[in-house]
Structure 1
């Protein structure tokens, strides 16, 4: 843990030294400063992920399925992160607990929310088990939402293909109708030019 903290601290100091306007850079990276100053809060660096979600929301927010996907991903990450912190807080001081660091807590939360449950990490406290039950229920709900979103996307793709094929068919029919209309006009003009000619005979012949 201290090795990781040292790397973050060195990275922060190097960027601060290399910045052209150090005061402005420092004020723009206060969160990084507090995270470096408080090494036990390093897991909060994961909150940077939500900045990415905000950007993705602006990019894909116009489509309903895009918004749903963003919300599902954001909710999943937040749920895993908070559940990992909660179970770590409950399990770390307990005797015979296997969940003693944040990495193990994240792994446990991921395998629980996906309903995999390898069984390598099991909460032994009442609080930890309550967190596990809540995470399982939320995981089932998220799986249902993901499946419904995927099914909706597949149906939309099939509808797009069918619509394209229908448009091509309508275009071909329109072209054929125009050709038939042009032939009728040409035939009418031929009849007017040679009214004595029988139907189907070339113009100028009787």
Structure 2
């Protein structure tokens, strides 16, 4: 009985756990949002914490299994630091939902366009998710701090959007160390977002120009080919007429003299 290579076993595991882990991430996000928005206490808070702990355990088992199945564990570890962060940092666990976005087929006109579509989808999905999770996290951190300005979910969403867009009106700002750490992540994500959007737009414009040039070149080549065919046909007709004149014994018509 043949043993499957480690890379194939890893792909099989990832394919098997893709949707269950995405559902677990959604469950974690729902429990976390319920705990923060409802400001749970007592038994209901305990229920939410148990749900998040179970989801965390699922992420830990999945990460350990994929690390074990990886053919080159050191290289796999370095290329999956975000997955490690999703296990170690609870607030990042919902980012596992981004794996769902990879399943969406968009813009299938060609490999380049499909790649730009995936990049756009990843960027939009990750930013929206980051804004939502950051709003929940900063609200959970700030609303009980003395002198806090972020005390409602609406304020938290407004602050999160203003921060990730690098606008930063200054009307709302975190006071705690954790809140400022969240703000730092949001600002870095905003700068990265601008870079991705700019690069994607530039790539789209270049592809349009390239396609237009390719169409013009194709039209020019078609015109040249048509003219070449016409010239070849005329040459064949002239040759045939000359042969007919030679066969009939009539000399071909003299070429008109060129005046100097």
TM > 0.5 fold call = yes
Unaligned runs of 5+ in 1: 1-30, 202-206
Alignment partner of 1:71 is 2:122? yes
**What's the counterpart of residue 173 of structure 2?**
122
Unaligned runs of 5+ in 2: 1-26, 39-93
**What's the counterpart of residue 135 of structure 1?**
186
- Is contact 2:36-2:139 (8 Å) kept? no
**Count of residue pairs brought into register by the alignment:** 160
Return the alpha-carbon distance in structure 1 between the equivalents of residues 147 and 154 of structure 2. Answer: 17
For residues 94-127 of structure 1, give each alpha carbon's deviation from its aligned partner in whole angstroms, at most 9, with x where no partner exists: 1221211111111111111111111111111221
- RMSD between aligned alpha carbons? 2.7
Which consecutive aligned stretches of 4+ in structure 1 deviate over 4 angstroms post-superposition? Answer: 38-42, 53-56
1:57 corresponds, among 89, 104, 112, to 104
What TM-score does the superposition give when structure 1 sets the normalisation length? 0.69
How far is the alpha carbon of 1:177 from its aligned partner? 0.5
Alignment partner of 1:97 is 2:148? yes
- Is contact 2:242-2:252 (8 Å) kept? yes
What TM-score does the superposition give when structure 2 sets the normalisation length? 0.55
- Is contact 2:141-2:176 (8 Å) kept? yes
Return the alpha-carbon distance in structure 2 between the equivalents of residues 82 and 39 of structure 1. Answer: 13
**What's the counterpart of residue 154 of structure 1?**
205
- Cα distance 1:140–1:154, how it changes in 2: closer, same or farther (>3 A)? same
For residues 40-90 of structure 1, give each alpha carbon's deviation from its aligned partner in whole angstroms, at most 9, with x where no partner exists: 658xxxx9xx79x74982233661111111111111111111111111111
**What's the counterpart of residue 110 of structure 1?**
161
**What's the counterpart of residue 61 of structure 2?**
none
